[in-house]
Structure 1
Amino acid sequence: MGLRRATILLIGLTLAVLLVGLYAASRCIILGRFVTLEEDIARQNVERGVNALHSRLSQLTLMAIDWANWDDAYAFMNEPDKAFIASNLPPETFRNQGLNVIAFFDPDGLLVWGRFLEPGNDAPVEIPEPLLETFRSGVARLFKATDRTPRQGVMMLPQGPLLAAMHPVVKSDGSGTPRGVLLMGALLGEAETARLADITRLDLSIQALQAPVPPGVAAADFEGKPSGEPVVLQTAGESSLTGHALVRDVFGEPALVVSVTMPRDIYRRGVDMMQYNLVTIFLAGFGFSVVVILFLERRVISRVGLIERQSGTIGTRREAGKRVALSGSDELARLSDSINDMLDRLEKTQEALEISEGKYRSLFLNTATAMLLVNTETSLIELVNAEFERLSGYGRRNVEHRKSWKDFTLEEDAKTIENFFRNRAASDGQIPGTIDCRFIGRGGDIRFVSLTVAMIKGTDSCIVSMIDLTDRKRAEEALAEFNRTLELLVAERTGALAEKAHELEEANQRLQELDRLKSAFLSSVSHELRTPLTSIRGFAKLILKDLSRMTGMGQGLKGKYARIDDNLQIIIKESDRLTMLLNDFLDLSKIESGKMEWRDARLPVSDLIVRGVGAVRSLFDEKPGICLALDVPDGLPDLFVDPDRMLQVLINLLSNAAKFTDKGLVRVSAALEADGLRLTVSDEGVGVPKADLVTIFGKFRQSTQGDILENKPKGTGLGLAICRNIIQHYGGRIWAESEVGRGSSFHVRLPREALAPKGEKKAARSEDGTA
């Protein structure tokens, strides 16, 4: 589209959009203001009509007040007489005051006197019974016995709406108990409506609220209306506007609709004003558009066309020395000068590009790496350097624009390279630009090369550099062969190691069998040794008993008796020691062979500690320098273990503390921890070296710290091993903490599984864990 046509179209569209926007704004703002003004006037007219109706009611109320606050009327209510009626209530009173009903009711709601004037009649008649019942019920609803407040409003009768005013009958000064109610009313007929319309100079109509009069208006239309806007408006096109107001009866119920109709002159004037404004704006815009188009045609479009023609001539004929000629001092003239300056710079840039191209071409041709310029669309090689000629064996004339890069590679590599070129072009060079492939030279020899591809942005060409990897590939193949040989050698050595491992496994099984035989042998020997030891111990005690009876022996035999007594005590003591050794052998053998019987039962921690301390009390009595302390808090849960085995553990730990402590404190403590119960036996004895803290729990192991055990009782080295096996049977842990010269602490932790829940009795468990 030309500049001239685009300008005309743009101005036309702008004018059209402007007119549409102005029309919408005018209709929304200007015409909206006129409509609002018209509606306000309509509401005011309706309010005037309602006020006229209320004014008529006020007149009736004043008349009712004047008659009801009158001593004669007050006396008439007590004693009705014809003189009052003849002088004050003749037919002229109804016609002169425009009344249709005058009625006096006593406090009980009974009619004292009343007449009703039918529309079109000259003389009033007695009130018909239906109307009388309506008046009577209305008075009863509105007035109490002592109520002095007047009432006014509309009462709906079969004859039509009645404007009624009621007031209690009292004395002229307002005193005295009300003797009844005076009701005065005027029917609201066509004559009365016309009189109100004439007074207000409005097109006024008053109708009962009953469908379909007035059309489309009901009491529900006035519900929810704000107190300041009780008027409902209806429009009849652009001709008239009608406002409706609801009037409630004397009981507060919807009764009448007051309607005022007015012509829509204000609205039509708003429409005319809006149309005049639009026509004026259109003519002004059209004139402005013509002026703008003529100006643009003379000062812009024609001169731009001249620049276009001259620039086209320069570009077509490639006349480098010719320039654009445009007179003037405006922006287009300065644009022509800028174009001339740009042509000068382009000319210089072209020369610089030719120099740069020569430099890069020389660099491309003379680099020591084989390089080629490839068209990715046609796959033809467009340029190669001397190194590529050497690598391929072809001259440049035989390659450039004659051969494809596919002619220098294997068929299975060609598809991979083609996909690589395509991905490089699509990703704008984001994919790594190196790929390894095989290269076929002129003599058919295959070499391994690494291609580095650089895409030339904005073109279908790329520069490919080739690095010969043949020597490296051959070295890698040799290394791979060496690795394969090494793997075979490792496999052979692994097989040999597997055979050795199998032999070690068989040796381990033989050792385990020997260990079982050793345990069986120890068990058998221990049982065999216990019988003679029992006999030796028993006979030694009998001999000692017999010697004790020989109290009358001579003075020379007392020394021999003392030696025999000492020897027998040694025999008994060593027999006990050997018996304990055999018992340890038997216990350890039973535990390791799984033949130990475990008689688990509920055992309070305090009972366990008291029994253990009592069993070793003699050891502590022999050493007065030792102080034994117990730290057992209340509330600890009971253990569910074998009491004898657990007592054996505590006795072993206390015995060790007594053996290796000369003076100081030996403490037995118990505490409940998060993961179970912890028992601790600590002393201030000689201590255990750190190197022996683990080994002392092995079989036949004792601390080996220099002469620290010199002159101390020797043990079997099985006590702590038996303790460890017992604690491990219950899933617990035993360990020692010590510092040489400062004492030791032996800790036993039993898990929660070894604790007895409160109120629960458990059955004894055998070695395999079954109940």
Structure 2
Amino acid sequence: MNLRKKTLIVVGLFLAGLILILYAASELQLRNSFSDLEERNAKVDVDRALNAMSNELTSLGDLASFWSARDDIYAFVTTKDIDYINYSMSVGSLTNDSLNNTEINLLIFLDAYGQIAFCRFLNVSGAPEEVPQDLIEQLSLYGFCPGCLDKKSRNEGIILLSGQPMMIVTQPITTSKKDSPIMGRVVLGRFLTEMEVDRLSEIAQLNLTIYPLDDPEMPENFRQALSQLSYDSSEFIVTREGEIIAGYALMANIYGNPLMILGVNASREIYREGARSRESFMFLFSAAGFLFMVLTLIYLDRSVLSRLANLTTSIASIGRTPKISTLLKVEGKDELAGLAISINDMLAALESAHEDLINSEKRYKGVVEDLPDLICRYSSDGIINFVNAAFCTFFSAREQEILGKRSDGSVWQKHLKSAQELEGKINENYPIFTYESQCKAPQGLRWILWTARGIFDQSGSLAEIQSVGRDITGTRKAEEALRESEERYKLLAENMTDVIHLNATDENLSFVYISPSIKQSGYNPVDLIGRSPFDTLIEPEDVAFVKAFLKRIRDSKKENILEYRIRMIDGSSVWVETIANPILDEEGNVIYIACTSRDITERKKAEESRRKSEERYQLLAENMTDVIHLHTPDQDLTYVYISPSIRQAGYEPSDLIGKSPFALIKPEYAKSIKEG
């Protein structure tokens, strides 16, 4: 099968697969999107139902606020005057009909001590009854009374009263101005009957259903939803019977504990509309994808594949001709035409490169032949297959006498290492090994530095070895002369009286080298290497300025001289003079400080004797009556020194230093003195 057929089949399969993948992905994405939208809409319906219930409690609370902020009720719970009740009954504000009209099933006035001052209870049918015992227990147990909870708080919620849920609100009793102390609490209650739920459903435009958690008649779908609900997950959405989506939520009582479960049922209009949209989209997408695949294959075949097949045929025909200069026919101005032009350029470049290769081989062969280095190439079994002219000249042999011989079979045996000798020393990662050899040549005893490079085949096995040798006899002689010179200088350093020492540049300026002449001070050089001179030799009083001196040498990188005292091993002190020179590396950084130190104790003693003698003569000069003065040898004879006896003339010695005596002498005498 040729490339054209393969390409058409593969591209067709890829396009078909891509269309199927996009179809499946789009179907899944649209299905999930509409499902998420439907679920979010169901959650919104549940929130609307809960808000409707909250609004109903708020409305009941507003009614409680009306009752709690009346002066007559405030006076009643304070005085317990029955006249208020009689009056209210006569005007109809506390009658059963009045409570039924306002949909109130429970009205209680509690005094400041939480005792019932007035109570009226209507059952679900609206008939008056005694207050149920479980309501009195809840009032006592949970603190609807003001004495148990915050008296200023307003509480609202749902309780279960005689098995029937009731919305209940409590409000503190105050005067109409609300600036008096709290004297009790109004409690209003309304049963959450089926009629009330239907009314809430009509208000919220939803299909609501409410069941107490312990209702034995609760349907199975509510029980399943209840098992999925908790404090952390208070809402649950599920699809029922294919055409209905239901949302469920827990409803807490006034004490914050789960009391009832709320259910909201809605039809799946969103899902059905999404299904119809998906079907229309998928049909259009499939038709467009198929049309796109057919058009793509036709265009690909006519614009690329057929022309590429013709180009391949032309290249194959050129490959069968002996001349590289034959060119392809160029049609059009697109990429395939550019490819044909590039192939023509490549053919021209190949022809030019072939000619350059022949010329390059000639040039490099000349370079190798003219190199002074010895070059020899031999196989892994030791057969020599190439040598240059320098190799032949060095071993006094002709090329024909060397080629084909073994590398270990003649005078060069001591120089060329075999593959067995190089085993373990070279590999593909480290193919070079360097070594030296010595031999007698017609020119005399010679040293050769050899660089052996391993040439490995594709399997990683050593195929050939190329050895390049360089005559280093001159270098070896220079190294030997340098070694002898270092030995002479070392002998000189170890036998002179001056102490030569090399210090590191660290903070302690530790000794790196110290000459044996240090033994004059009683120290052994070996004991001082690596130690700081500040801890061993230098007097403590001189340590600070010696450190500063050596730091200055290190920073300025210039030679300097310092005099200081060192401590002998017997405890005595001597004066030394140190000449310090910085030693720099190639980058100009100080790496060592080279010092030469000599004992100047006798010189310091002589200088001290001279200083004392000068002091004595100066004392004599300053206490005699004759004036002693020193002058510069120039024309002005400027005063350099003048003794204190000049004060007899009224002058201070310090005023005359640096001045000429001719300023003190009359001009006529000064001229004759200068001439004389």
Tell me the TM-score range normalised by the shorter chain: 0.5 to 0.7
The DSSP-based 3-state class of the residue aligned with 1:403 is coil
Q: Could you say what secondary structure the match of 1:215 adopts?
A: helix
In 2 relative to 1, CA 303–381 (structure 1 residues): closer, same or farther, beyond 3 Å?
Answer: farther
Deviation string, structure 1 residues 232-289 (Cα, Å, up to 9, x no partner): 3534498765555565555666655544343454356456646755664455344334
Contact 2:378 2:386 in 1 (8 A): no
Distance, in Å, in 2 between the alignment partners of 1:320 and 1:347 is 6
Following the alignment from structure 1 to structure 2, what is the Cα–Cα distance between the partners of residues 181 and 36? 47
Task: Give the one of 184, 187, 191 matched to 2:191.
Answer: 187
Q: Distance in 1 between matches of 2:393 and 2:337?
A: 59
In 1, Cα distance between equivalents of 2:568 and 2:400: 91
Provide the residue aligned with 1:46 in structure 2.
46
CA distance in 1, matches of 2:261, 2:152: 30
The residue number in structure 2 matching 1:297 is 301
CA deviation string 1:168-217 (max 9, x = no partner) = 77899999998865544222234432332244231223345679965146
Residue in structure 2 matched with residue 220 of structure 1 by the alignment: 231
Measured in 2, the distance between the counterparts of 1:741 and 1:731 equals 27
Q: Does 1:408 align with 2:416?
A: no
For residue 612 of structure 2, the aligned residue among 743, 758, 770 is: 743
- Mapped pair 1:338 → 2:342: yes
Distance 1:457 1:272 in 2: 73
What whole-Å deviation, never above 9, does each CA across 1:362-390 have from its counterpart, x for those lacking one? Answer: 7767x697977635356433355778778
Secondary structure of 2:209's partner?
Answer: strand
CA contact (8 A) 1:152 1:164 kept: yes
Deviations 1:483-525 (A, max 9, x none): 9xxxxxxxxxxxxxxxxxxxxxxxxxxxxxxxxxxxxxxxxxx
Q: Which has the larger radius of gyration?
A: 1
Q: Give me the TM-score of the superposition, normalised by structure 2.
A: 0.53
**Alignment partners' CA distance in 1, 2:279 and 2:16:** 16
Q: 1:545-624 counterparts in 2 under 5 A? A: none
- For 1:204 and 1:292, how far apart are their aligned partners in 2? 57
In the other structure, the counterpart of 1:284 is 288
Greater share of helix: 1
In structure 2, the CA distance between the partners of 1:339 and 1:59, relative to structure 1 (3 Å rule), is closer
Moved more, 149-158 or 122-131: 149-158
| Secondary structure of 2:232 counterpart | helix
2:447 and 2:2 map into 1 onto residues whose CA distance is: 58
* Matched residue, 2:235: 232
Distance 1:328 1:450, change over 3 A: same
Distance 1:440 1:239 in 2: 108
* Conserved? CA contact 2:210–2:263, under 8 Å: yes
| C-alpha distance in 2 between matches for 1:673 and 1:272 | 103
Q: Is the contact made by 1:438 and 1:448 (CA closer than 8 Å) also made in structure 2?
A: yes
Residue type at the aligned position of 2:161:
L
For 2:572 and 2:469, locate their aligned partners in 1 and report how far apart those are by CA, in whole Å.
72
8 Å Cα contact 1:409-1:439 kept in structure 2: no
- Alignment partners' CA distance in 2, 1:729 and 1:75: 115
Q: Which runs of 5+ in 2 are unaligned?
A: 216-221, 458-462, 485-539, 544-566, 575-600, 615-676
Partner Cα distance (2:173, 2:470) in 1 = 130
What pairs up with 1:586-735 in 2 under 5 angstroms? Answer: 731=571, 733=573
| 1:78 is the counterpart of 2:89 | no
Seen in structure 2, the aligned counterparts of structure 1 residues 363 and 128 have a Cα distance that, compared at 3 Å, is: closer
CA distance in 2, matches of 1:63, 1:378: 114
Question: CA offset at residue 312 of structure 1?
Answer: 3.3
Contact 1:447 1:468 (C-alpha < 8 Å) held by counterparts: no
- What does residue 205 of structure 1 align with? 209
Deviations 1:68-92 (A, max 9, x none): 7496997795226779658846665
Name the CA shift for 1:312/1:381 in 2 (closer, same or farther; >3 Å). farther
Task: Please state how far the C-alpha of 1:36 moved relative to its aligned partner.
Answer: 6.3
Aligned to 1:646: none
Q: Which has the larger strand fraction?
A: 2
Encode CA deviations 1:528-556: one digit per residue, 9 max, x unaligned: xxxxxxxxxxxxxxxxxxxxxxxxxxxxx
- Give per-residue Cα distances to partners, 1:582-605, cap 9 Å, x unaligned: xxxxxxxxxxxxxxxxxxxxxxxx
2:126 is equivalent to residue 125 of structure 1: no
Aligned mates of 1:171, 1:451 — CA distance in 2:
118
Aligned CA distance change for structure 1 residues 453 and 82 (closer, same or farther; 3 Å): closer
Q: 1:208 to 1:309 in 2, by over 3 A?
A: same
- Letter paired with 1:436: S
* Aligned partner letter, 1:204: L
CA distance in 2, matches of 1:177, 1:185: 24
Percent of aligned pairs sharing the same letter: 23
Query: TM-score when scaled to structure 1?
Result: 0.48
Paired residues for 1:369-448 under 5 Å: 374-377=377-380, 379-383=382-386, 400=403, 402-408=404-410, 415-416=417-418, 419=421, 426=428, 432=434, 436=437
For these two proteins, the number of residue pairs brought into alignment is 482
Shift of residue 109, structure 1, vs aligned partner: 3.8
Tell me how far apart the structure 1 counterparts of residues 299 and 195 of structure 2 sit (CA, whole Å).
74
SS of aligned partner of 1:337: helix
Compared with structure 1, are the counterparts of its residues 423 and 440 closer, same or farther at alpha carbon in structure 2 (3 Å cutoff)?
farther
Q: Which moved more, 1:257-266 or 1:186-195?
A: 257-266
Alpha-carbon distance in structure 1 between the residues aligned to 2:292 and 2:354: 48
Q: Tell me how large the CA RMSD over aligned residues is.
A: 5.9
Structure 1 residue ranges without an equivalent (≥5) = 223-230, 484-671, 676-726, 746-771
Cα distance, 1:49 vs structure 2: 2.0
Q: 1:322 to 1:435 in 2, by over 3 A?
A: farther
Contact 1:370/1:391 (8 A) holds in 2: no
State whether residues 146 and 178 of structure 1, in contact with CA within 8 Å, keep that contact through their aligned partners in structure 2. no
Look up the SS of the partner of 1:141 in the other structure: coil
* Map 1:492-507 → 2, pairs under 5 A: none
**Secondary structure in 2 aligned to 1:743?**
helix
Q: 2:343 corresponds to which letter in structure 1?
A: I
Structure 1 residues 74 and 57: alpha-carbon distance in aligned structure 2, compared to 1, 3 A threshold: farther
Query: Contact between 2:166 and 2:191, CA under 8 Å: does it hold in 1?
Result: yes
- The answer on 1:161 being equivalent to 2:196 is no
Provide the rounded CA distance (Å) in 2 between the counterparts of 1:172 and 1:149: 17
Match for residue 319 of structure 2? Answer: 315
The answer to whether structure 1 residue 101 and structure 2 residue 102 are counterparts is no
**How far does the alpha carbon of each residue in 1:704-753 deviate from its partner, in whole angstroms, 9 at most, with x for none?**
xxxxxxxxxxxxxxxxxxxxxxx9999455887444454189xxxxxxxx
